[in-house]
Structure 1
Amino acid sequence: MESANGRVLQPQGKLLNSSEFLDESSVHPNHQNLISTTREGHPDPLCESHYNSSRNMGHLITVATCSLNQWALDWEGNAARIVESIQKAKAAGARLRVGPELEICGYGCLDHLLEQDLYLHCFEMLRRILLDETCYGILLDIGMPVQHRNQRFNCRVLCLDGKILMIRPKMWLANDGNYREMRHFTPWMHPRQTEQYHLPRILQDIQGATHVVFGDAVVSTPDTCFGAETCEELFTPNAPHIAMSLDGVEIITNSSGSHFTLQKLDTRLKLIMEATRKCGGIYLYANQQGCDGDRLYYDGSAMILVNGDVVAQGSQFSLNDVEVITATVDLEEVRAYRSAISRGLQAARSDAKYERIQTSFELSSEDEDADIMITPSPPIKPKFYSVEEEIALCAGCYLWDYLRRSGTAGYLVPLSGGIDSCATATIVFSMCRIVIKAVEEGNLQVIEDVKRLAKYDGEGVLPKTPQALCNQIFSTIYMGMKTQSSAETRQRARDLAEAIGSYHINLDIDDVYNAQKSLAVSALNFEPRFKVEGGTQQENLTLQCIQARIRMVTAYEFGQLLPTARGRPGGGGLLVLGSANVGESLRGYFTKYDCSSADINPIGSIDKADLKRFIAWAEKDFNIPCLHDFLTAVPTAELEPISETYVQSDEVDMGMTYQELTIMGRLRKVNKLGPYGMFQRLVHDWSIDRKRGPEDDAPAYEPSQTADKVKKFFHFYAINRHKMTTLTPALHCNDYSPDDNRFDLRPFLYPPFWKSWSFKKIDAELERIEKRRAKTKA
């Protein structure tokens, strides 16, 4: 920053005369690349921009971005992964490395971000990175939270050779869905303005100064200029990259903590492609990857784009703790792309001028330009997965992270013979396939984790197949009833367990059920009966719930005992997996504290239709023919006695199909519709009078039937809403998840909907519609 006497303030805090810049010997050898801070219109004598450079600057540069499997509050582990990513980037020839959002502490720290200790430990880990000379010789964009003037900011710390160039706070915070950044951070509300940040003492000695630049600025090198935006800022209408591009910033870095949602990558990539296609430039996207301690899976997909084309893309789902991608890009392509007259006029008229932090460190290399073997990375076709593949890969990778970091011995799933528990078990098998593939590829961290978990064949013996691994870390249990359970569901459970290799137990719970039932009989002198035996609805529900809750207790009992009973060295316990799908949660069609109560639920935000498509895909892709039997079976809870004239059916019990549940669930959450608004929408979408196209598979109902469906949906949602407050944490996969944790915040005690004003509005609208239909038909 230029002072009144014409001198330029270095980031170290030392004042040098302009002439001193010509003598690099006055700067410490390790810090010669750190030169000065200037404002637009005050060129630095040494750090001429590439536009006015008198010497031959290179135009080919190699840049790196990464996906890191960080873990919230894993301080030393997170720092080690950051250092490894820097070293890999350097080894690939990169001179700029970008990391994920809040990578030092991990994105999912939640309310730990309110604790003073967290900020201290972040600076301690940053100091460790800055002192590591293997991290020199490359520009670093590192994510961490920073406190400034008693406010907390989500920041990018831009570093070079053990020094901080500047700190760039996030301006637009993510505050919807699963994100609550406004709870933890303050947005930087001063575009293109900076202040001086007072460094903590533990950094002052290595910085050689007490202050660094803090705010919305960019970094200028002799050959180019780069600026940072963070995650949510990309999604805003007036994203920072627009103003930066118009001010000559050629490289934009975006550091994200973006979690997985089915088919979300397509939306994310389109935004980045459009940003660089419209503005031109080089865009580096970094993201966290894996489970960092919450119900979210961060789906990596680090990317490098040039002028709207993808030139490098990392994996979306992976067991690699550190994944670095690089690309060689041509700066001249950006300048040529931006040569349009209209863009030049906009840039000339723009008042959005950024303060530039100058450095003599060059991103390009004359050697690189002279090496004719080095060419710019060509455009590639982006990689996308189908919904079925995403379920298999995302949930599989998430479960592996959860298992290896929990310190437990494996998973247990109660198999019912239905498609939901079948899907959960198949996801665990998918996990085992992913793990065995990583072992075959030589992933040392995965090999170490497998050796720690799979002990039944002896210490250090690695399973060779997914089925062999499955048998060591996955147990399944079928808990039947003699009169309620069918031979078909029992056989399907047995066939699936054999196909995937799980350690399977087949038992009946009649003795426990009868003992629990007799307790009520003896205490109340009253014997409850099922509906088919002449009992009331309340009696019927009570007897069903006894069975369901016994299964939950039994599942946890076996989960705690099985490793020891099987002779696993060191014993251990199993994590119990739940299998309630998103439709059942919306409708409340499950027993509170039954097998839906578990440690984690991998399918809790996935609807029945997607689960069926996943199973149909897995039948062929995993070569498990028995999965076909699950697809053709009628969904049933099997909690009531089976007779020749009666078999319990889920959809009959619920009064709506799973397809209808999915539609209404999306309208409730994604479209933000209440009862009246939903009826107004569905009375058209489901109209029996509508003209139906070849791809129209929506229901066809009379207006009165649609009104009845909508009313039942909200009635049962309301009276069962309390169940969501205790529901097992579910892996987040859908934007209409009813997850009570922080994604879908609602009361759990509602006034009766049947008497509500919204239902009266539906009745009035229905009457108006029927009068109009009658008049039309007449």
Structure 2
Amino acid sequence: MNLIKVAAGVVNQTPLAWESNKNNIINCIEEAKKQDISILCLPELCITGYGCEDMFYAQGTCDSALDALEDIALHTSSIAVCVGLPIRINNHIYNAACLIVNKQIRGFACKKTLANNGIHYETRWFQHWPVGEKTEFRIGEFSYPIGDLLFEVGGVKIGFEICEDAWVANRPGRELYLKGCDIILNPTASHFSFFKTQTRERLVQDGSRAFGVAYIYANLLGNESGRAIFDGDAMIAQAGEMLVSGTRFSYKDYYLTSAVIDLDKIRLEQSQNFILFRASNAVQVLFDYPEIAPIKNNYALEHWEANGFQKEEEFARAIALALFDYLRKSRSNGWVISLSGGADSSAITALCYLAIEMAVTELGLDGFKQKLKYIKAIQLCNSVAELSAALITNIYQGTQNSSSDTRHSATSLAKDLNTTFYDIDINGLVETYKGLIQGAIGRDLSWQTDDLALQNIQARVRSPSAWLLANINNALLLSTSNRSEASVGYATMDGDTSGSISPIAGIDKHWLRHWLRWLENTGLGGTHQIKGLNAMNNLQPTAELRPLEAKQIDEEDLMPYDLLNAIETSAIRDKKSPTDCLKIMEMEFEGIYTREKLITSIERFFRLFARNQWKRERYAPSFHVDDRNLDPRSWLRFPILSGGFQKEIEEMLEYANNSGKGKRRGKIGF
């Protein structure tokens, strides 16, 4: 048998954090050498970080990456390692993977297909490398091959598909297959979204089968640069068989996923297929592989991935890790959440607690405190409960319009999670502002004439106290708006939108309420439930900004959340017209909502979406979780000023008046 031990190395990097990025890479390499690994694949752009944005243009970024590369090369004795970095050639910047073998740089493979959709904007900074092109790249006194390269390392042919290269129909693996490639390395920076790991597995497994190779896939980990979350997906397949996959959403700085591959099996697979051989012109590298004993590779889903609640689990683990990374990378001392007792602020508080609990479970108490060693307040903590009190601050700010139910909901959750909790009455502040304005304009404000203004001042008055607590503690204030509210502007600017980061702005309210019930009754991993959510889960969502006798309910102010989510999906994600939305809603909600309700809701949605783009432009950065994101700076662009879908709405109303199911009801107009 001809066996080689290989690995995918996952690292948690930060853009332009040169020393910590380099140390993570070096530590990962040293661990690989301890495990007798011969070939190690590290992620795309792992030296600089993937999210450097326009700093990729800076000459200093490319220069510092090369400096780090030369330091990393010194640690690669007896191992072949690929690391990702940007390379500048003739004033063009390329996304490259450098192969280092036994302390010597052997060449640079460049990315051919650039990601330029959704949160990716690679064509802004990088150039596509032309298929088949090769040249040389000079570093100091030495020149190295660069471009569309195949390497032959100790008789083993190694090629590259860099991230997006593998996601296109004409992926480079086909050409590598024709050249007799043995191993394809895929250094990647593939952002998290729900169920995306399943697509990646198909790409890896199918690529290994179709090209008759061993395929090594290594992704980045953590909240790297603010919005994107990387789940640390790592996997190795061989000739159509998935050998291993790594853990996801780890709190470690780096880790390895290793397997032993059988070159004889790979080459047998290729020999049994008819191919038109092409000369490889591979870069030749001398290298001796150590003798490896056979091992049983063990591919299995993680326990939480196999329990039937993958989306619920992924949401909890992704956002919790993102919150933890954002906390430590911003060197903040904790989180502050204005806990209203409603679903949004309760979910965020629970996610902060889960971040603490999962990090302690993986790293241990001492490892957790070492990871956040700059926070003096946690160094004497001896439990998750004590850490929760030190890191999570909740504040309930009631007015005369707040109910005992929401106060009980907030109090019970804070008590269950042992957070630091403050309950203050802000009614006097609201009355002070009202009095000042009433005196200035010469009349009293009333609910009959000033409903929206009186609602907003209550929400807005809550912001200064929350910010004050955050400033006192050098903590992160977390904004509590969700995606459903963002789509229709059902939020008070400088009120509930206040914060440094908006953790749940990428998720809809309808599903979030389902997740909270799941977290209470089923729980993370099927074992950990948060029972303190019970009171909140039994409440109707309400802003509690009107007098209590008004019995304000969010879904009456807007529309039912399940309907809002369905309209948003059709209108925004799928770009359907109001008329098409009506047809789709009639199909989805037949027998649930009346046709008049559907028409009214669709018109309301389109008008509010267009009117409130300026709010979405001002929201705190949000975490990306799926293809329904509304963040205008990373996913969905829409004009701040527009025609407001006026023509399209009129066409829908005309269609509604001239068609319909069952009994006609007369002309519809709004």
| Count of aligned pairs | 656
Letter of the 1:500 partner, please give it: L
Choose from 190, 200, 206 the match for 2:139: 200
Q: CA deviation at 1:176?
A: 0.5
Would you say 1:181 and 2:85 are equivalent positions?
no
Partner residue of 2:359?
Answer: 435
Would you say 1:631 and 2:631 are equivalent positions?
no
> Matches of residues 761-776 of structure 1 in structure 2 within 5 Å?
761-770=651-660
Q: CA deviation at 1:380?
A: 3.6
Any conservation in 1 of the 2:417–2:532 contact (CA below 8 Å)? no
Partner residue of 1:294?
Answer: 226
Letter of the 1:652 partner, please give it: E
User: Residue 455 of structure 1: SS of its match in structure 2?
Assistant: helix
Q: CA deviation at 1:680?
A: 4.1
Choose from 519, 544, 547 the match for 1:618: 519
Partner residue of 2:262?
Answer: 330
Any conservation in 2 of the 1:578–1:602 contact (CA below 8 Å)? yes
Distance 1:648 1:438 in 2: 43
**CA 468–442 in structure 1, closer or farther in 2 if over 3 Å, else same:** closer
Any conservation in 2 of the 1:548–1:591 contact (CA below 8 Å)? yes
Any conservation in 2 of the 1:396–1:431 contact (CA below 8 Å)? yes
Distance 2:614 2:301 in 1: 47
Q: Percent identity?
A: 27
> Matches of residues 137-156 of structure 1 in structure 2 within 5 Å?
137-156=78-97
**CA 161–771 in structure 1, closer or farther in 2 if over 3 Å, else same:** closer
Any conservation in 1 of the 2:365–2:383 contact (CA below 8 Å)? no
Choose from 243, 249, 257 the match for 1:311: 243
Letter of the 1:637 partner, please give it: A
Partner residue of 1:581?
Answer: 482
4+ aligned runs moved over 4 Å, structure 1: 771-774
Would you say 1:748 and 2:640 are equivalent positions?
yes
> Matches of residues 357-368 of structure 1 in structure 2 within 5 Å?
357-362=283-288, 364-365=289-290, 367-368=291-292
Partner residue of 1:31?
Answer: none
Partner residue of 1:734?
Answer: 626
Any conservation in 2 of the 1:388–1:613 contact (CA below 8 Å)? no
Partner residue of 1:663?
Answer: 566
Choose from 500, 503, 508 the match for 1:602: 503
Distance 2:301 2:327 in 1: 34
Partner residue of 1:398?
Answer: 322
Q: CA deviation at 1:161?
A: 2.5
Partner residue of 1:119?
Answer: 62
**CA 375–148 in structure 1, closer or farther in 2 if over 3 Å, else same:** same
Q: CA deviation at 1:473?
A: 1.0
Partner residue of 1:38?
Answer: none
Distance 1:382 1:635 in 2: 35
Letter of the 2:619 partner, please give it: L
Choose from 454, 457, 461 the match for 1:543: 454
Q: CA deviation at 1:771?
A: 9.0
**CA 576–442 in structure 1, closer or farther in 2 if over 3 Å, else same:** closer
User: Residue 612 of structure 1: SS of its match in structure 2?
Assistant: helix
Partner residue of 1:161?
Answer: 102
Distance 2:457 2:468 in 1: 16
Distance 2:88 2:67 in 1: 14
Would you say 1:241 and 2:161 are equivalent positions?
no
Could you tell me the TM-score, scaled by structure 2's length? 0.94
Any conservation in 2 of the 1:66–1:323 contact (CA below 8 Å)? yes
Would you say 1:675 and 2:578 are equivalent positions?
yes
Letter of the 2:98 partner, please give it: V
**CA 577–89 in structure 1, closer or farther in 2 if over 3 Å, else same:** same
Choose from 200, 217, 242 the match for 1:268: 200
Partner residue of 2:282?
Answer: 356
After superposition, the C-alpha distances for 1:208-235 in whole angstroms (9 at most, x for unaligned) are x3x2211111111344211011111111
Distance 1:771 1:376 in 2: 62
Partner residue of 2:34?
Answer: 91
Find the structure with the greater CA-based Rg. Answer: 1
**CA 230–668 in structure 1, closer or farther in 2 if over 3 Å, else same:** farther
Distance 1:511 1:591 in 2: 20
Partner residue of 2:336?
Answer: 412
User: Residue 51 of structure 2: SS of its match in structure 1?
Assistant: helix
User: Residue 374 of structure 2: SS of its match in structure 1?
Assistant: helix
Would you say 1:101 and 2:44 are equivalent positions?
yes
Letter of the 1:194 partner, please give it: K
Distance 2:377 2:466 in 1: 22
Would you say 1:79 and 2:19 are equivalent positions?
no
Partner residue of 1:51?
Answer: none
Distance 2:572 2:157 in 1: 42
Could you tell me the TM-score, scaled by structure 1's length? 0.81
Choose from 499, 502, 521 the match for 2:416: 499
Would you say 1:647 and 2:563 are equivalent positions?
no
Partner residue of 2:12?
Answer: 69
User: Residue 597 of structure 1: SS of its match in structure 2?
Assistant: coil
Any conservation in 2 of the 1:388–1:610 contact (CA below 8 Å)? no
After superposition, the C-alpha distances for 1:76-102 in whole angstroms (9 at most, x for unaligned) are 111111111111111111111111110
Partner residue of 1:449?
Answer: 371
Distance 2:144 2:464 in 1: 58
Q: CA deviation at 1:108?
A: 0.8
**CA 516–72 in structure 1, closer or farther in 2 if over 3 Å, else same:** same
Distance 1:543 1:155 in 2: 56
Partner residue of 2:387?
Answer: 469
Q: CA deviation at 1:687?
A: 4.2
**CA 376–337 in structure 1, closer or farther in 2 if over 3 Å, else same:** farther
Distance 1:617 1:66 in 2: 33
Any conservation in 1 of the 2:247–2:302 contact (CA below 8 Å)? no
Would you say 1:377 and 2:297 are equivalent positions?
yes
Q: CA deviation at 1:639?
A: 0.3
Any conservation in 2 of the 1:218–1:226 contact (CA below 8 Å)? yes
Distance 1:498 1:772 in 2: 54
Q: CA RMSD in A?
A: 2.1
Distance 1:430 1:501 in 2: 13
Choose from 422, 426, 435 the match for 1:518: 435
**CA 752–143 in structure 1, closer or farther in 2 if over 3 Å, else same:** closer
**CA 79–553 in structure 1, closer or farther in 2 if over 3 Å, else same:** same
Partner residue of 1:716?
Answer: 608
